[in-house]
């Protein structure tokens, strides 16, 4: 088979936060790479207005800047604790410029397919006749771009969209709006409906714990990170967290929300204090799951029926890698099952960067993830004993993370990780490798 020979390089797919730090860490370790991005600039999901971006006009980080930023590139001091999507995009592009990542990127092209060629990978790039042969591949295409729409019996005659397609509140003006789903995006959009729509209703399949963004003026995740460092049992840490949140915000049922049917942190945290506020003011009505669609009416599981003009389904995203067959990804139960959600149990040159859903900021974790990936790639060439040690872990240890709490069994928790434990696990593994940088150029 004919191909273009890039076999001394790695290929990084994606120009979002995970792809950027993958390129940066490969460069740090002297590993040549090409990076492929389908848009005309970096930013990924934070490139507002692009077809695969799920960001809406009012989006801010739900994790604080200090818990989100990369390990060696802090967000500016003049940024607020929870930056806007415009500030986030400037930060990401500043990171790319500071570390000269643009030199590795090829924009306005997409990966059409990845197939194995002996022990390397053939990557077909759009617009090119011959595939490229690469030493290895790091996939960083994100997992918040392919909407997952629910299936309900009946038909709805009004407008029905996924939250991925919601961008500005003018869509809500003068309408009776139903938001389906009480994740972070669903709650944000329900709050915007409370302000801009004629009426606002949210459909929740269960009660959830709500977490404020601030506790006594400090970002909640910063406070939580400090508590996690205390040398006390995790059960006591959770008790302190629950008391602090209830003392600051109160119990959901006090506002008219359903009582949670699970313990705090057994679901992905809902970082929102405005939804309880608007529910408490009667600006958002709360309904259970949808039973049936009836023209412009919706029948709920409690037997009530109401008419709506617009339904916004904030029902999550599918994990999707359309350019590579699932046989290559150790696919199980709807997602790849990889060590640390990044390292393939069989292939030593195929990785997924950023395929995690932490309960705080993500980019510092994907930075550590990329540091570990780069060290392993170098060790495969220069330190067989250390490479074999990590190879044994990824072959036999499953995901390799013991969560401090058991998450409720649902699709949204397939990739859920505890921020603190994931960070400490990756840092410990990195420390076991030691400083190999002198070997990287050999």
Domain borders along the chain are 4-146+317-440, 154-212+250-313, 215-248
Distance CA 378, CA 386 (A): 10
Distance CA 157, CA 47 (A): 32
Distance CA 186, CA 191 (A): 9
In this predicted structure, the answer to whether residue 85 has a pLDDT above a threshold of 50 is yes
Tell me whether the CATH fold assigned to 4-146+317-440 matches the one assigned to 154-212+250-313: yes
Distance CA 12, CA 354 (A): 12
Distance CA 177, CA 172 (A): 7
**Residue 310, both tokens:** 């617009």
160 three-state secondary structure: strand
The arithmetic mean of pLDDT across residues 98-125, rounded, is 97
Distance CA 405, CA 235 (A): 9
Whether the Cβ atoms of residue 91 and residue 98 lie closer than 8 Å to each other: no
The arithmetic mean of pLDDT across residues 144-168, rounded, is 94
CATH 3.50.50.60 fits domain 4-146+317-440: yes
The arithmetic mean of pLDDT across residues 394-423, rounded, is 79
What is the signed CA dihedral for 251, 256, 257, 260, rounded to 10 degrees? 50
In this predicted structure, the answer to whether residue 440 has a pLDDT above a threshold of 50 is no
Q: pLDDT tens across 7-34, in order?
A: 999 999 999 999 999 999 999 999 999 9
DSSP string across 288-308: --EEEEEETEEEETTS-EEE-
Distance CA 335, CA 32 (A): 29
Neighbour count for residue 219 (Cβ, 10 Å):
22
Q: Which of 177-181, 261-265, 275-279, 303-307 has the lowest mean pLDDT?
A: 261-265
Please, which pLDDT band fits residue 436 given cuts at 50, 70 and 90? Answer: low
Q: What is the crossing angle of helices 17-28 and 363-382, to 10°? A: 40
Bridge partner list, 6: 134
Q: Which of 119-133, 180-194, 355-369, 389-403 has the lowest mean pLDDT?
A: 389-403
Exposed/middle/buried for 222, CB within 10 Å: 0-12, 13-18, 19+?
middle
pLDDT at 210: 93
pTM as predicted: 0.93
Strand pairing class (214-215; 210-211): unpaired
Distance CA 221, CA 63 (A): 7
In this predicted structure, the answer to whether residue 404 has a pLDDT above a threshold of 60 is no
In this predicted structure, the answer to whether residue 412 has a pLDDT above a threshold of 50 is yes
Among 427, 327, 335, 348, which Cα is nearest to 395's? 348
Average pLDDT across the chain, whole number: 92
In this predicted structure, the answer to whether residue 407 has a pLDDT above a threshold of 90 is no
**154-212+250-313, CATH topology level:** FAD/NAD(P)-binding domain (3.50.50)
The arithmetic mean of pLDDT across residues 114-139, rounded, is 97
């Amino acid at each position: 088979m004919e191909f273009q020979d890039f076999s001394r390089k790695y290929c990084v797919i994606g120009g979002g936060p995970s792809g950027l730090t993958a390129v940066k860490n490969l460069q740090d370790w002297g590993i040549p790479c090409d990076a492929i991005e389908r848009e005309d600039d970096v930013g990924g999901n934070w490139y507002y207005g692009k077809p695969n971006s799920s960001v809406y006009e009012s989006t801010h980080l739900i994790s604080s800047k200090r818990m989100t930023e990369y390990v060696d590139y802090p967000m500016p001091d003049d940024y607020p604790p929870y930056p806007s999507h415009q500030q986030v995009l400037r930060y990401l592009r500043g990171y790319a410029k500071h570390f000269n990542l643009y030199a590795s990127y090829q924009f306005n092209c997409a990966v059409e397919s990845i197939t194995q060629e002996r022990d390397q990978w053939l990557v077909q790039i759009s617009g090119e006749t011959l595939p490229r042969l690469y030493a290895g591949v790091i996939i960083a295409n994100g997992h918040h771009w392919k909407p997952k729409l629910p299936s309900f019996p009946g038909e709805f005659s009004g407008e029905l969209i996924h939250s991925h397609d919601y961008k500005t509140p003018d869509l809500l003006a003068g309408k009776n709006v139903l938001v389906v789903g009480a994740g972070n995006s669903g709650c944000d959009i329900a709050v915007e409906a409370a302000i801009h729509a004629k009426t606002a209703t949210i459909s929740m399949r269960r009660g959830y714990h709500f977490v404020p963004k601030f506790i006594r003026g400090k970002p909640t995740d910063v406070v939580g990170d400090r508590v996690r460092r205390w040398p006390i049992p995790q059960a006591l840490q959770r008790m302190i967290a629950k008391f602090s949140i209830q003392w600051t915000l109160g119990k959901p049922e006090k506002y008219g929300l359903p009582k949670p049917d699970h313990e705090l942190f057994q679901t992905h945290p809902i970082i929102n204090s405005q939804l309880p506020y608007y529910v408490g003011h009667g600006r958002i009505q709360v309904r259970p799951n949808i039973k049936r669609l009836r023209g412009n009416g919706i029948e709920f599981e409690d037997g009530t029926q109401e008419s709506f003009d617009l339904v916004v389904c904030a029902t999550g995203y599918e994990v999707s890698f359309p350019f590579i067959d699932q046989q290559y990804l150790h696919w199980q139960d709807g997602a790849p099952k990889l060590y640390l959600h990044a390292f393939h149990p069989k292939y030593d040159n195929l990785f997924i960067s950023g395929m995690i859903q932490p309960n705080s900021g993500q980019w510092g974790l994907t930075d550590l993830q990329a540091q570990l990936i780069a060290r392993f790639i170098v060790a495969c060439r220069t330190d067989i004993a250390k490479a074999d040690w990590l190879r044994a872990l990824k072959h036999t240890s499953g995901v390799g993370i013991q969560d401090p709490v058991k998450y409720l069994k649902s699709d949204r928790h397939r990739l859920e990780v505890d921020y603190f434990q994931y960070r400490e696990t990756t840092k410990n593994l990195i420390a076991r490798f030691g400083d190999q940088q002198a070997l990287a150029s050999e």
